[in-house]
Amino acid sequence: MNVNITNEEPTDEKFLVLVSPLPHLVKAKTSTERIAKNTKRISQSPSRLRMTGKLALDVHRSFKEHVQTIGPLHKLKCDAHKEQLLKLLREKSARTKAYDQSRDEAAPSHNEVE
Please tell me the predicted confidence (pLDDT) of residue 101: 84
pLDDT at 97: 86
Cβ(38)–Cβ(49) under 8 Å? Answer: no
Helix (H, G, I), strand (E, B) or coil at 105: helix
Please report, for the chain, the start and end positions of each structural domain, with discontinuous segments joined by +: 24-105
35-67: pLDDT as tens digits: 666 666 555 555 554 545 566 666 667 667 766
Residue pLDDT, tens place only, 79-93: 777 888 888 888 888
The pLDDT assigned to 84 comes to 83
Angle, helices 23-44 vs 54-106, to 10°: value is: 80
**H helix runs in 45-53, sequence order:** 49-52
CA distances from 76 to 62, 68, 71, 80, 85 (A): 21, 13, 9, 6, 14
Q: Is the dihedral of CA 50, 51, 56, 61 positive or negative?
A: negative
